Amino acid sequence: MNTILITGGAGFIGSHVVREFVYKYPEKKIINIDALTYAGNLENLSDIENCNNYQFIKADITNASSIMEIFQKHKPDGIIHLAAESHVDRSITNPLEFVMTNVIGTVNLLNAAKEIWKDNYEGKRFHHVSTDEVYGALGETGFFTEETSYDPHSPYSASKASSDHFVRAYHDTYGLPIVITNCSNNYGPNHFPEKLIPLCIHNILNNKPLPIYGNGKYTRDWLFVIDHAKAIDLVFHKGENGNSYNVGGFNEWQNIDLVKELCKQMDEKLNRSIGTAANLITFIKDRPGHDLRYAIDATKINKELNWSPSVTFEEGLSKTIDWFLENKDWLENVTSGDYQKYYQKQYTK
């Protein structure tokens, strides 16, 4: 493969995937397509923007003709599709936006790939990056495997489930070479501060309340974002055509316990007396349709592709907090909205 096109590369996970590929595969051209919505931030990639094998193209995947034009022009051999609306709370307020990007946008990419590859699929691959949320909610025991039936509950997870079905349908109907990864909750550097961990880091720094939905006993399985990027690299290159792979950390935390661990580490790093941050914990009204528990069985990717997480949660969380403390400008730019001027400054001279 000579050209790999990554969608959503200016977002949280996408930026780590783009960086991984640009450095690891200097002989390949890496094209990042992103619409730069509120969640897209090119500052995430400022360290690689001048690399010879990297190119950014501002484009919206809901626009079929502009996507087709880009595919015709650059003829990518591989697609790694991360562009999405990704925040459950926003999907509750505005479901249609999630249908547009997550469903229609994905189908536009599938159509464009099918068209330029013209049924000659030798050496080609469409990797769809999805979530464990498509499987619905677990009770207090059990794990999601690749065989678990889909049972999405939020507009976000319903739109991602739909996109997964379309990707599989293009494989079954047209033979398109695809792989899908379904990953658990990510955390790490560049995480947008609307999600639980970066929101709490931001609020602790600013002495603001830490909002915990409901009783805080909801459970998520957390994975360090760079471990997810490495899993994507492995599945993209070595995964079995037509297969899906669950990716997760075997690392379950109830939200309240996670936030308490975060508070403890933040107090230590900020030299504040223990208990300062935890005093900010505030229980608030629950999220509607809140899924009780997610937990991934990652045996398949572990056994078949020899992937496992490289850091423990405590280490990953410590690295994440350190990154936010060392990059207060990034956090300030994101919360003030200034990051949206970056594209203007860098790319439209």
Contact positions vs ligand TYD (CB under 6 A)? 88, 185, 195-196, 199, 211-213, 218, 220, 255, 287
Helix, strand, coil shares of the chain as percentages rounded to 5?
45, 15, 35
The least distance separating ligand TYD from the CB of residue 204, rounded to whole angstroms, comes to: 13
Q: Is 78 in the site for ligand NAD (CB under 6 A)?
A: no
Contact 133, 62 (CB under 8 A): no
Specify the stretch interacting with ligand NAD by CB under 6 A; choose among 47-55, 108-116, 178-186, 306-314: 178-186
What are 220's two structure tokens?
Answer: 């998520």
Task: Examine residue 8 and tell whether it contacts ligand NAD (CB under 6 A).
Answer: yes
- Is 198 a binding residue for ligand NAD by CB under 6 A? The answer is no
Tell me which of ligand TYD, ligand NAD, none is bound by residue 101, counting a contact when its beta carbon lies within the kind-specific cut-off of 5 to 8 angstroms.
Answer: ligand NAD
DSSP state of 138: B
Where in 107-146 is the site for ligand NAD (CB under 6 A)?
A: 129, 131
Q: Please say whether the beta carbons of 292 and 138 come within 8 A.
A: yes
* 305, 235 contact by CB (below 8 A): yes
The DSSP secondary structure of 273-342, one letter per residue, reads PTTTTGGGEEEEPPPTT---B--B--HHHHHHH----SS-HHHHHHHHHHHHHHTHHHHHHHHHTTTHHH
Q: Residue count at the site for ligand NAD (CB under 6 A)?
A: 29
Least distance CB 95 / ligand TYD (angstroms): 15
Under the binding rule (CB under 6 A), the answer on residue 36 touching ligand NAD is yes
| Residue nearest ligand NAD, CB atom distance | 11
- Please state the closest distance from residue 27 (CB atom) to ligand NAD, in A: 26
Q: Which residues are annotated as catalytic?
A: 132-133, 156
128's contact among ligand NAD, ligand TYD, none, with CB below 5 to 8 A by partner kind, is none
Q: Which range binds ligand NAD by CB under 6 A, 68-76, 146-154, 183-191, 308-316?
A: 183-191
Q: In the complex, what is the shortest distance from the CB of residue 293 to ligand TYD, in angstroms, rounded to a whole number?
A: 9
- Asked if 196 touches ligand NAD (CB under 6 A), the answer is no
Phi, psi of 285 (to 5 degrees): -50, 140
In this structure, the strands spanning 252-254 and 219-224 are antiparallel
- Residue 12 touches which of ligand TYD, ligand NAD, none (Cβ within 5-8 Å per kind): ligand NAD
Q: Which does 35 bind (CB under 5 to 8 A by kind): ligand NAD, ligand TYD, none?
A: ligand NAD
Binder of ligand NAD out of 31, 39, 197, 200 (CB under 6 A):
39
How would DSSP label each residue in 12-42? HHHHHHHHHHHHH-TTSEEEEEE---TT--G
Rounded Cα gap, residues 112 and 303, in angstroms: 33
CA distance 6 to 8: 7
What sign does the CA torsion over 290, 293, 298, 299 have?
Answer: negative
Closest CB 231 distance from ligand NAD, rounded Å:
11
DSSP letter at 10 equals T
In the complex, the smallest distance separating the C-beta of residue 70 from ligand NAD, rounded to whole angstroms, is: 11
Element holding 202 (H helix, E strand): helix 196-205
Residues in contact with ligand NAD by CB under 6 A are 8, 10-14, 34-37, 39-40, 60-62, 82-86, 101, 105, 129, 131, 160, 183, 185-186, 192
